[in-house]
Structure 1
């Protein structure tokens, strides 16, 4: 039952605000590099599509490994300590892009960079929603994810501008600056720590599947895997698509419009979900996302980029925070870190594997055919959602 005290507790505390800043910095580096790495691998190392996809996706594969381990050891190591260690490594690895001269080394660096990202971002995400009253989790998740939304628009825009201004070195300096911003925020944040139980301490070196994955968070996490798989095709290859058609300037417009639209949508989607339930957000989101992918399949132009950005922002942009709110609500407090990790592991796995598989598919379909197939894929996902999470009545775990 909601109490007057909890109902009046504000979402925007000092530490929640710092968590948003840290998340913005982490997401900024992710989007800046994720949207440019495939093209960088092609331009700098003459990589073919599959290797270019691996260069983009290796980062996220590293994040998957890190999130799995973080879910087990977050409260044993300490949440603030995990964030600090992860961000120190994140800064160092961001600098190393400036000196890499070999594709194999670049892929390895991308993997390690993802490891640092996964640890820090999991700790921040798991802790940030614990700073928000339970009955405001969907709304708080929407606000928290706005930081990533801003990064989704600013990162690719900077990447596009810097590439056409003269090269990739500027991208690596910007990513280093963002990493330093995140580390600065981590030095001042206070995160809610949870004392590990005696059982957790005793079994700290034992790793079981239940220590890494929470089954209660899996239905919604599977949905996010499918959505992120489709979105990975936009993240990794839309810049390549525009470059191949001589309309690269439109890509910057696409991600900027996407970010602005998601910013607006997420101000309301969380409240709608809290009031009317998950299905009121998820079913329309899947449909609109599929339509957006059909639009993206059209060769890029400014009208196409704007329309595709708005539709995918309304669709995919509503899925991520809504799913995270569900994942942390269906588990008890001591399982929040594992549920958060489960959710983001599935999201990261899709974004990591997606570019690799889609890179293999591209020679057969071309960019337009790939996006049409992803649109059909999202239509099928509606049925999967209906059979799993869609027919469940979700209540908060005690």
Structure 2
């Protein structure tokens, strides 16, 4: 029930927000909106650990239930205009009911994000155990605080950059930063390396997830934004679900450092994968835009 509710709310909220943002500012708008999720997922574990340490698990779930109820009450005050579709668009949706669930044009970025999200579970599921093993238990909390703070700074800037300079100027460096962050974790032995890894991960995965969503919805018509959004996050959730299982096997066989090294290799392969699935097309599209802007008529 929790997964179903979260999946529906996440996709629906993201679709509504995308619909409200001007197309030429979607990178910036989605970047700002997604900061809410980032702050929540960074501060949530800290708050949860505090409640469990000082109270009980019953109190933890009570607080979560109260937060969910507050969200429901606030949602009642949100005014959302009903989307207006043309007759042609309505006919298209009725002919392809599965098109409301999976959008083909969102698949390239969805295939990239499944591997990126899978590797991120190495942080969410195993970082705490890794820091305990290294006698750096307090560093886990610091990691997520630095990660959230760095995202607050870099994500809005990345969104503006994507809107003005195209997809590749953000996505290629982000994948590289992500791979470097996992390498830093693999060789971390003290707080400084964990902080460096957190900053690099904010520049990497912190931008990949939401800038990837921006690119996915840019590729479809307005009446397909919901389908593209759900497709993208379904693949992301698949990665998040498979990650702990697959990475747990690697960690069990070779240790946490070996696991992070393996993740870094997988993420590094994301560079040619992104280039093959979307990067080359994005480069041609951006070249066409630049040529148009530089023409004598402009």
Which residue matches 1:182?
Answer: 71
Answering whether residue 137 of structure 2 is matched by residue 248 of structure 1, we say yes
Deviations 1:15-46 (A, max 9, x none): xxxxxxxxxxxxxxxxxxxxxxxxxxxxxxxx
Gap regions ≥5 residues in structure 2: 287-298
Q: How does 1:183-222 map to 2 (within 5 A)?
A: 183-195=72-84, 199=91, 207-208=97-98, 210-222=99-111
Larger RCO: 1 or 2 (CA < 8 Å, sep 6+): 2
Other structure's SS at 1:297 match: helix
Other structure's SS at 2:281 match: coil
Give me the whole-angstrom Cα distance separating, in 2, the residues matched to 1:228 and 1:316.
Answer: 8
Report the alpha carbon displacement of residue 127 of structure 1 after superposing the two structures with TM: 0.6
Answering whether residue 226 of structure 2 is matched by residue 337 of structure 1, we say yes
Which residue matches 1:389?
Answer: 278
More displaced, 375-384 or 171-180?
Answer: 171-180
Give me the whole-angstrom Cα distance separating, in 1, the residues matched to 2:216 and 2:231.
Answer: 8
Task: Mark the CA change 1:298 to 1:250 in structure 2 (over 3 Å): closer, same or farther.
Answer: same
Answering whether residue 118 of structure 2 is matched by residue 224 of structure 1, we say no
Give me the whole-angstrom Cα distance separating, in 2, the residues matched to 1:163 and 1:365.
Answer: 31
Report the alpha carbon displacement of residue 260 of structure 1 after superposing the two structures with TM: 0.4
Which residue matches 1:149?
Answer: 38
Task: Mark the CA change 1:338 to 1:378 in structure 2 (over 3 Å): closer, same or farther.
Answer: same
Give me the whole-angstrom Cα distance separating, in 2, the residues matched to 1:131 and 1:121.
Answer: 16
Report the alpha carbon displacement of residue 365 of structure 1 after superposing the two structures with TM: 1.9
Residue number among 154, 158, 171 corresponding to 1:269 in the alignment: 158
CA RMSD of aligned residues (A): 2.1
Which residue matches 2:293?
Answer: none
1:223–1:385 Cα contact (<8 Å) kept = yes
2:151–2:206 Cα contact (<8 Å) kept = yes
Which residue matches 1:352?
Answer: 241
Q: So what's the TM-score if we normalise by structure 2?
A: 0.87
Report the alpha carbon displacement of residue 171 of structure 1 after superposing the two structures with TM: 3.1
Report the alpha carbon displacement of residue 129 of structure 1 after superposing the two structures with TM: 1.3
Deviations 1:292-351 (A, max 9, x none): 111112356422321111110111111122111111111011111100001111111111
Residue number among 201, 220, 224 corresponding to 1:312 in the alignment: 201
Give me the whole-angstrom Cα distance separating, in 1, the residues matched to 2:276 and 2:114.
Answer: 16
1:160–1:249 Cα contact (<8 Å) kept = no
Gap regions ≥5 residues in structure 1: 1-111
1:250–1:300 Cα contact (<8 Å) kept = no
More displaced, 131-140 or 356-365?
Answer: 356-365
Give me the whole-angstrom Cα distance separating, in 2, the residues matched to 1:190 and 1:160.
Answer: 35
Other structure's SS at 1:248 match: coil
Report the alpha carbon displacement of residue 269 of structure 1 after superposing the two structures with TM: 0.3
Task: Mark the CA change 1:171 to 1:380 in structure 2 (over 3 Å): closer, same or farther.
Answer: same
Answering whether residue 229 of structure 2 is matched by residue 321 of structure 1, we say no
Give me the whole-angstrom Cα distance separating, in 2, the residues matched to 1:124 and 1:223.
Answer: 22
